[in-house]
Amino acid sequence: MELAGWQVSGKIDYDKLIDKFGCQRLDQSLIDRVHRLTGRPPHVFLRRGVFFAHRDFNEILDAYERGDKFYLYTGRGPSSEALHLGHLVPFMFTKYLQDAFKVPLVIQLTDDEKCMWKTLSVEESQRLARENAKDIIACGFDVTRTFIFSDFDYVGGAFYKNMVRVAKCVTYNKVVGIFGFTGEDHIGKVSFPPVQAVPSFPSSFPHLFSGKENLRCLIPCAIDQDPYFRMTRDVAPRIGYHKPALIESSFFPALQGDTGKMSASDPNSAIYVTDTPKEIKDKINRYAFTGGQDTKEKQMLYGANLEVDIPVKYLSFFLDDDAELDYIKQEYGSGRMLTFDVKKQLIEVLTELVERHKRARAAVTDEMVDAFMAVRPLPSMFS
């Protein structure tokens, strides 16, 4: 899901973002509460502050504690053949939430959005949506609790009625303020925001939630989506719906560090789920920005600057063992460990992750994609 008017670049001050957007920081008491309510250890992304901000997540937990379930909503704009590791982060976390809380999930593939924002034909956008669906399914979602839909296929009926209800509540000035549209943008872009807003409302999915119109929605997403869903939250009570709750992550950094940006036009800016072990090794060794010193002697004397070190940041996302990560940080930061050793560890972790994903994706058939995208009741929605 992409926010057209809110560009991300350079070093990001997340405290400032929280103040600017008016969301709340995800504190330890909420993380402990997730542990207590689910009986599962908090996900590594929760423990390490990857998902660090929220709106009304406490209300979702209140409702869950009373015995009221909720549903999850996330999405993907299918603009490229292969996903990079940053694309996997929200899906890995959403899978954890689905498993921990045993709740249904809707995943929106905005093939229409990508067709309008990129130089893609309708047919190519649809093809990429199905290809991306295979990568999403490979993350291990439960087909009995998950509905994946592409906008080109699904929009209509109750979903479209909700789009019209939202559209009537948002002025042109408001949408320009949020998305930064100009007079040069075609009207397709201006008309798109309601499409991404209405999966937040259960009545958009009558085949799933008929008679459950009061069900709350939780949206795991990156923090750049916050202005987008502020619009949705502003409109929701005016059309008789609950405001969706959000749980929001920081950005996954480019290999080149805070100044870089992961871009499909620069394959060396990210690790892709299609990369070979050799490509992963070469990218980490050649392009991963390091906070280590430029000579062994200096490294042993001064240690590494962990604040800017990409190998350490990537390990913070994907190395499960907290004790091992703390050890690496301590040794590397003090100069007792060299950049080469940290990169070697990262190469092992990412190679295993990508190879595991490739095996899972290879097992996803067209029939499985059809099953996830079929408009049908979900058999074990809340069990």
Give the helix ranges, DSSP H, for 49-150: 57-65, 85-101, 111-117, 122-137
Closest to 155 in 3D by CA, of 127, 113, 123, 185: 113
Considering the domain architecture, whether residues 135 and 37 belong to the same structural domain is answered as yes
Please state, in angstroms and rounded to a whole number, the distance separating the CA atoms of residues 292 and 337.
10
| Overall domain count for the chain | 2
Q: The whole model's pTM is what?
A: 0.93
The confidence score (pLDDT) of residue 263 equals: 72
What's the CA dihedral at 67, 380, 26, 43 to 10 degrees?
130
Which residues 6+ apart lie within 8 Å of 323 measured at CB? none
| Contact predicate 176/134, CB 8 Å | no
- Tokens read off for 240: 């008789």
Considering the domain architecture, whether residues 128 and 108 belong to the same structural domain is answered as yes
For position 222, which CATH number holds?
3.40.50.620
Query: Does residue 7 lie in a domain region?
Result: yes
Please state, in angstroms and rounded to a whole number, the distance separating the CA atoms of residues 321 and 298.
29
Considering the domain architecture, whether residues 174 and 102 belong to the same structural domain is answered as yes
For position 348, which CATH number holds?
1.10.240.10
Considering the domain architecture, whether residues 283 and 211 belong to the same structural domain is answered as no
| Contact predicate 236/202, CB 8 Å | no
Query: Does residue 375 lie in a domain region?
Result: no
Considering the domain architecture, whether residues 109 and 9 belong to the same structural domain is answered as yes
Regarding beta strands 245-249 and 216-222, do their DSSP bridges make them parallel or antiparallel, or are they unpaired? parallel
Query: Does residue 53 lie in a domain region?
Result: yes
Considering the domain architecture, whether residues 267 and 240 belong to the same structural domain is answered as no
Domain boundary (230, 254, 278) is at 254
Considering the domain architecture, whether residues 232 and 290 belong to the same structural domain is answered as no
Domain boundary (190, 222, 254) is at 254
108 strand-pairing partners: 75, 149
The confidence score (pLDDT) of residue 10 equals: 57
Domain boundary (229, 254, 279) is at 254
The confidence score (pLDDT) of residue 260 equals: 60
**Percentage helix, strand, coil for the chain under 3-state DSSP, each rounded to 5:** 55, 10, 35
Considering the domain architecture, whether residues 180 and 112 belong to the same structural domain is answered as yes
Considering the domain architecture, whether residues 82 and 209 belong to the same structural domain is answered as yes
pLDDT tens digits for the chain (383 residues)? 344 334 555 577 888 888 888 899 999 999 999 999 999 999 999 999 999 999 999 999 999 999 999 999 999 988 888 899 999 999 999 999 999 999 999 999 999 888 888 888 999 999 999 999 999 999 999 999 999 999 999 999 999 999 999 999 999 999 998 888 999 999 999 999 999 999 999 999 999 999 998 999 999 999 888 888 999 999 999 999 999 999 999 888 999 987 666 776 678 889 999 999 999 999 999 999 999 998 899 989 989 899 999 999 999 999 999 999 999 999 999 999 999 999 999 999 999 999 999 999 999 999 999 999 999 988 777 76
**What residue numbers bound the domain in which 111 lies?**
3-254
Query: Does residue 219 lie in a domain region?
Result: yes
The confidence score (pLDDT) of residue 2 equals: 42
Query: Does residue 372 lie in a domain region?
Result: no
Query: Does residue 380 lie in a domain region?
Result: no
Considering the domain architecture, whether residues 335 and 236 belong to the same structural domain is answered as no
Query: Does residue 203 lie in a domain region?
Result: yes
CB atoms within 10 A of CB 30: 18
The confidence score (pLDDT) of residue 32 equals: 97
The confidence score (pLDDT) of residue 381 equals: 76
Considering the domain architecture, whether residues 297 and 212 belong to the same structural domain is answered as no
Query: Does residue 159 lie in a domain region?
Result: yes
Closest to 115 in 3D by CA, of 98, 107, 127, 104: 127
Considering the domain architecture, whether residues 222 and 288 belong to the same structural domain is answered as no
